[in-house]
């Protein structure tokens, strides 16, 4: 089943409750971008906001960690209310950490574990983890900022990953994040994506509920 995950990064923070009510009513997940100013050149938010949102969010929270030491913070994000936690393969490898151990750590916390790659990381790097991780996130922009232009090449990467899964009899979610809109959602679904993250195209739309509905077609 297709899941739409609006990215709260693009929301109106002065009306956060209203934005969350919209996600609860029309979407399937809430995507939460955690940035540390080191793994990516931008800083977003952390535990206090996730904890506060957990009090009103009824859909699962999908926490996307763009931080240098994901293993250090997995448990706290799980406690703060995350149901899905994803981390960058690059971040784990740069820190000399075994991605399999971080995947296991996320699962031990009772969350679904996602592995993320930026657009310059070969999609084949995910193949060794197809059995272990619960879902895979293909960045269709370089992680760090909302509102960037979708990189078309991502479609091919998604279909390569979907084909590899099929050849091994694996059926797991493929999430796509960055520049996703009604203009490319059909192509993304056809390529094999099952979770669409959308920031600007939802929250900057005149009618966000309609924007979510348009992503489903």
Residue 112 in contact with ligand DX5, rule: CB under 6 A: no
What's the distance, Cα to Cα, between the start and end of the chain in Å? 13
> Residue 28: what are its φ and ψ, rounded to 5°?
-115, -25
Smallest distance from ligand DX5 to CB 66, Å:
6
Q: Which residues inside 65-94 make contact with ligand DX5, applying CB under 6 A?
A: none
User: What DSSP character marks residue 76?
Assistant: H
Query: In which order are the strands placed within the sheet that holds 3-6?
Result: 3-6, 195-198, 173-177, 135-139, 112-117, 82-88, 61-66, 30-35
CA distance 94 to 96: 5
> Which residue's CB is nearer to ligand DX5, number 71 or number 177?
177
Task: Say if CB 128 and CB 102 are below 8 A apart.
Answer: no
Residue 33 in contact with ligand DX5, rule: CB under 6 A: yes
Residues belonging to the active site: 33, 177
Of 148, 172, 147, 145, the residue nearest 158 (C-alpha): 172
- 146's contact among Zn ion, ligand DX5, none, with CB below 5 to 8 A by partner kind, is ligand DX5
- 9's contact among ligand DX5, Zn ion, none, with CB below 5 to 8 A by partner kind, is ligand DX5
Q: How many residues of this chain interact with Zn ion, rule: CB under 5 A? A: 3
Site string for ligand DX5, 163-192 (x = CB under 6 A): --------------xxxx------------
Residues that bind Zn ion (CB under 5 A): 33, 64, 177
Q: Summarize as ranges the residues that interact with ligand DX5 (CB under 6 A).
A: 7, 9-10, 31, 33, 64, 141, 143-148, 177-180, 197-201
């Amino acid at each position: 089943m297709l899941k739409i995950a609006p990215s709260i990064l693009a929301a109106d923070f002065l009306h956060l409750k209203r934005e969350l009510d919209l996600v609860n009513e029309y979407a399937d997940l809430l995507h939460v971008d955690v940035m540390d100013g080191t793994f990516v050149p931008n800083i977003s938010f952390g535990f206090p906001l996730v904890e506060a949102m957990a009090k009103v969010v009824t859909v699962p929270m999908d926490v996307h960690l763009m931080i240098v030491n994901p293993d250090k913070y997995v448990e706290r994000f799980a406690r703060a209310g995350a149901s899905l936690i994803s981390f960058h393969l690059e971040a784990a490898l740069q820190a000399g950490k075994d991605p399999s151990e971080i995947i296991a750590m996320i699962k031990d916390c009772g969350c679904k574990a996602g592995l993320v790659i930026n657009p310059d990381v070969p999609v084949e790097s995910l193949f060794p983890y197809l059995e272990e991780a619960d879902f895979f996130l293909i960045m269709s922009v370089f992680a760090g900022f909302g509102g960037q232009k979708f990189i078309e090449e991502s479609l091919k990467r998604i279909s390569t990953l979907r084909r590899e899964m099929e050849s091994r009899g694996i059926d797991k979610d493929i999430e796509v994040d960055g520049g996703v809109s009604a203009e490319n959602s059909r192509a993304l679904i056809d390529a094999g994506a099952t979770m669409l993250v959308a920031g600007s195209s939802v929250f900057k739309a005149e009618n966000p509920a309609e924007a979510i509905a348009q992503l489903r077609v």
